[in-house]
Amino acid sequence: MRAKIFAAVTLCALLLGRGAHAGPTETFGYGSRSTAMGGAVSADASDVSANYYNPAGLAAAKGLTFEAGYLRTIYGLKMNGRDNFVDPMRGITFGLVAPGAVGPVPFAFGVGLHLPDDRVFRVRSLDQEQPRWEMYDNRPQRLFMSANLALKPFHWLEIGGGLVFLAATRARLDITGQFQVSNPKESELRHEVDADLTSIRYPQFGMRVHASDKLRFAAVYRGEFQLTLDISARLDVQANALGLSVPLLTYITTNSVNAFLPRQAVLGTSFDPTSALTLDFDVTWINWAAYKSPVTAVNATTQFNPPEGFPPSLVPEKPAPTVVIPPKFRDRLVPRFGVEGRLPLGRGHAFAIRGGYFFESSPIPPQTGGTNFVDADRHGISAGLGVRLHDLTAEIPGDVKLDVHAMYSYLPERLTQKASAANPIGDYRAGGTIWSLGFTTGLVFR
């Protein structure tokens, strides 16, 4: 039975290829236990959340594990004291860990999934100067999916990794036909769309070293990811106006980057001062300096030769090409702290209480010019409870888990003072709060 499940899981992973790895987990955590501990679990996670925090931890799974849960955020992000009604992020989480062995070497395979219940992922193309909550508005609105392998070659060492991918898009749109300028309803236009989805791959690796029974160290690397969207359009029509028919040929190309996820490196430690207490600490370097602007670059070329008598006011104007202002984000270090206290309840049952804290300094420089990537420093405080019931029924030979968590993020108000008095957006204040609530329930078969 176990071998069949393992085979099914492996087959599933191969069909999925490699997972899509993206923003909701880095912003709001993955799995209630790990999120409740402030995400400081790179040296501590061995459940499904290890698919994100450190795939090496999968090798320490105690048995075949299934987990499912739900995550919901509530934004209170404001500019100039007015709520911007940023779309909340919500979705189900699911994952599994399937341990086994390759000869004498313990081996595990894991899959993790966060699936938004409103959309799989969202791409937005906004004007360059439009203010937007760059870290919270669009970036978390996407799928997270990860598939990893882990080995334990020595009793003191676990290593793991996976490849991650999503699709980049290239599309071509052709419009041909007759266009009635005075009455567009009478136009006869033909459309042709040709879209191509190409995959993007990047790696993630992790390792965990057991210095002793009570002390563990971890290192994790996550690669860079970006979703590029290239669209070209060709408009080849006869424009009819005032009894004149004029050929109009326009090429438009757009290029944008969405869902950029920078490279990250994590160093972490986990310490058990007693059998009932775990203390965790992580520090994450995030390469935000490589951030690509999400602004869409547009180029248009028009061939239009109006005949004698064609009204100049109807001649289409050629739009100026977009000059994308470099975002010039800064790298940042994110410290994370977590603590878990466990209380045995007898017969293998246990109760846990957890807490965590992290601080994210904003990587976005003061927006004094033409861009308005709105952000503020973030203090994250989290707490959670967990119950583990052991051998609850004969049909479930193992543990039943239920974890809940709440995370409160406080973004102290950040002031943006424009350098130019001619700026259309002007000065503003930005800050607010974010609540994130969730639960995870799971089965661990022994």
Which residues are near another protein by CB under 8 A? 15-17, 79-80, 82-87, 118-124, 126, 130-133, 137-138, 141, 143, 166-167, 169, 197, 199, 300, 311-313, 315, 317-321, 415, 417, 420-429
User: Closer to another protein at the Cβ: 85 or 154?
Assistant: 85
Q: Following CA atoms 157, 215, 21, 378 in sequence, which dihedral angle do they give, to the nearest 10 degrees?
A: -160
Which value, to the nearest 10 degrees, does the dihedral of the CA atoms of residues 50, 52, 340, 157 take?
A: 40
Cα gap 131→297, rounded to integer Å: 17
Q: 3-state class of 186 per DSSP?
A: helix
- Least separation in angstroms between CB 288 and another protein: 20
Long-range pairs for 418-421: beta carbons < 8 A, 24 or more residues apart:
418/368, 418/369, 419/368, 419/369, 420/369
Q: Which is nearer to another protein, 199 or 305 (CB)?
A: 199
Minimum CB separation from another protein for residue 182, in Å? 13
Q: Which residues, 6 or more positions from 330, have their beta carbon under 8 angstroms from its beta carbon?
A: 288, 289, 363, 364, 365
Rank residues 122 and 330 by Cβ distance to another protein and give the closer one.
Answer: 122
Query: Between residues 353 and 425, which has the closer beta carbon with respect to another protein?
Result: 425
Q: Do 125 and 257 form a contact (C-beta atoms < 8 A)?
A: no
Phi, psi values for residue 269, rounded to 5°: -140, 150
CA atoms within 13 A on the CB side of 186: 8
Output the smallest distance, CB 308 to another protein, in A: 14
Q: Closest approach of Cβ 198 to another protein, in Å?
A: 9
Please report the DSSP string for 325-336 in residue order: PP-----EEEEE
- Rounded to a whole number of angstroms, the minimum distance from the CB of residue 116 to another protein is 9
Q: Which is nearer to another protein, 119 or 214 (CB)?
A: 119
Nearer of residues 240 and 322 to another protein, judged by Cβ: 322
- Site of tokens 């975002």: 327
Tally of CB atoms within 10 A around 181? 15
Closest distance between another protein and the C-beta of residue 218, in Å? Answer: 31
- Write down the least CB distance from residue 39 to another protein, Å: 24
* Cα–Cα distance for residue pair 98/48, rounded to 1 Å: 10
Looking at the Cβ atoms of 91 and 268, the one nearer to another protein is 91
252 Rama class: left (phi>0) / alpha (psi -120 to 50) / beta: beta
Residue with Cβ nearer another protein (25 or 284): 25
Q: How far is the CB of 142 from another protein (least distance, A)?
A: 9
CB 271 within 8 A of CB 277: no
Q: How far is the CB of 132 from another protein (least distance, A)?
A: 6
Nearer to another protein, 182 or 417 (CB): 417
